[in-house]
Structure 1
Amino acid sequence: MPTHLSIAVDLDYGVPEPADILLQIEAAATPEQRLDEQELLIWSDDPIATIAGEEGIGQRCWLRATNRIQAAYRAKVTIDRPAAALASLAATPVRGLPGTLVAYLLPSRYCPADRFEGFVRQKFGGLSGGAMASALAEWVHEHMTYRAGTSDSATTALHSFASRMGVCRDYAHLLVALARAAEIPARCVAAYAPGVDPPDFHAVAELWLEGRWHLVDATGMARADELAIVAVGRDATDIAFMTIFGTATLIGQTVAVQRTTPAERG
């Protein structure tokens, strides 16, 4: 059965000095995700330019902010994405991967996969493919504690591995780094999901198995068939909802995602 989501986002930030901002909050249109309604309002005195997101998934907006940036996003999304049994999926030998996936095997700023190779061999030796992916996701879920305020913009998967605490992006970074260390292509995904506590932009992992990407939320807060994808990338660098080339201060921010029915949509 398809999942229907209603999404409402409001952003309000102070900008002490004029700054360029890259905004990425619109749900993406994909074969498994239909945008039934969508509206993005940005209050700006300067022109706004749109560009494609990483891998051509989703859309980013360039804008110039002076004193303040305010944006309101509303969308209704239908998701028809089958949830695969992760453990049953076969691995793809790295030598058989297309070139576009190689970057998702390599270390990145927040996911230093090479630093986890010894741990993965020692802890999960003998596993491969979906069995390995499932074991890694379960390990992250069981050994991490979700706790706001324990990480920041400098926190990498190594820091999260040591502290065993963090928020959704830290769970995603750690699972992605472990998967890459296990020779499974992995990327980070920004998404909207119902039931996220506290309500906010959500980050999950996506692993390449049996010729396609599979969403995995190691926090356990959302299922693959109810995630509305916004953006994909190597790590938080690529999927941040807002990248500010300057400084900004939070005035107000709300993210609300609700399951709906076709009848409720009118």
Structure 2
Amino acid sequence: MKLKVVATLVYRFDHETPVIVAIEPARSPDQTIVSEQLLIDQPAELIRDLDADTGMRRFRGVLSGQVSIQYQGTIDNGTRRLLHADARQHAWAELPAEVLPYLLPSRFCPSDNLMRFAQREFSDIEAGGAKVLAVVDWLQEHVDYIHGVSNAQTTAEQTFIDRAGVCRDFSHLAIALCRALNLPARAVSVYAADLAPPDFHAVFEVYLDGQWWLVDPTRLAPVDGMVRIAAGRDAADIAFLTSGNFCQCLNQWVEVSRMEDSEPAQAA
């Protein structure tokens, strides 16, 4: 499927401020960047980074004053495979070394604190894909999608207590529960078609059957309409903008639309 993405960030920096920005889609085997353009409305010397394990692309620079950053791109995400109940869970000895960090507790996903609950609640579910889908079913039944309950410091443990949150919180809790069940899981930021209202969306991936599978624990957007941006241990690793000083977000908006095969891609 071809998707057209436009993402715009408008920020004010009172002083010269170093930033790290992750709004460009990842380079990965399951999605092809057909064309793209990055527009910044002030001169900036950028350093570009590519994460070899995840395909995540970030750029670094120093910005000041009011700045608009816009990404425009056409991405072909092929035909995404949906996680199925029979996907096999690996023994730890079988896992690639780069997957191992996603078994461990992290800042927003303290899986060790949820291990007793997870292993009791899901002990009767077959290992692998079925267990992950059971975790998502549990979230749908027991956690409400509500704005304003959480903030940027909310952990999966707090969401477990509050039983409410937004996409970031659903993903953190799903990741923590999967890790507590010995399943490698990581946070992923995506562009998502059919998400209402359009925005950056937080989902997660779980490693089964020798590959990473995208899963939306909120079920607000179809996985086959997603474009992966960044992946990491939790939200701290996948923020679309990280600033070295205080800054103010003046505006941000995201547009994701499906393209017909006959529709021309934008110029790179």
TM-score when normalising by structure 1: 0.95
Deviation per CA, 1:66-124: give whole Å up to 9, x if none: 12221011011111133234211121112322221110000001100101110011111
In the aligned structure 1, how far is the partner of 2:80 from the partner of 2:10?
A: 36
Closer, same or farther in 2 for the Cα pair 1:64/1:79, shift >3 Å?
same
2:138 is aligned to: 139
Cα gap change, 1:242/1:54 in structure 2, threshold over 3 Å: closer, same or farther? farther
User: What displacement does 1:56 show?
Assistant: 4.5
Structure 1 alignment gaps of length 5 or more: none
Gaps of 5+ in 2: none
Distance (Å, rounded) in 1 between the aligned partners of 2:52 and 2:19: 17
On the 8 A contact 2:189/2:202 being kept in 1, the answer is: yes
Distance in 2 between the 1:16 and 1:241 partners?
20
Secondary structure of the residue aligned to 1:262 is coil
On the 8 A contact 1:129/1:209 being kept in 2, the answer is yes
Distance 1:131 1:235 in 2: 23
**Superposed displacement of residue 55, structure 1:** 2.3
In the alignment, the residues of structure 2 paired with residue 120 and residue 190 of structure 1 have an alpha-carbon distance, to the nearest angstrom, of: 25
Cα contact 2:28–2:54 (8 A) shared by 1? no
Who is 1:186 aligned against? 185
Q: What stretches of structure 1 move > 6 A for 4+ residues in a row?
A: none
Aligned to 2:27: 29
Q: How does 1:180-259 map to 2 (within 5 A)?
A: 180-259=179-258
Match of 2:164 in 1: 165
Aligned counterpart in structure 1 of residue 88 of structure 2, from 87, 90, 93: 90
Q: CA deviation at 1:197?
A: 2.1
CA apart distance, 1:263: 1.6
The amino acid of 1:151's aligned partner reads S
- 1:4-43 matches, cutoff 5 A: 4-43=2-41
Aligned-pair identity (%): 34
Letter in 2 for 1:227: M
Q: In structure 2, what is the Cα distance between the partners aligned to 1:40 and 1:118?
A: 46
- CA separation of 1:56/1:211 partners in 2, compared to 1, >3 Å: closer, same or farther? closer
Contact 1:179/1:186 (8 A) holds in 2 = yes
> What's the TM-score once normalised by structure 2's chain length?
0.94
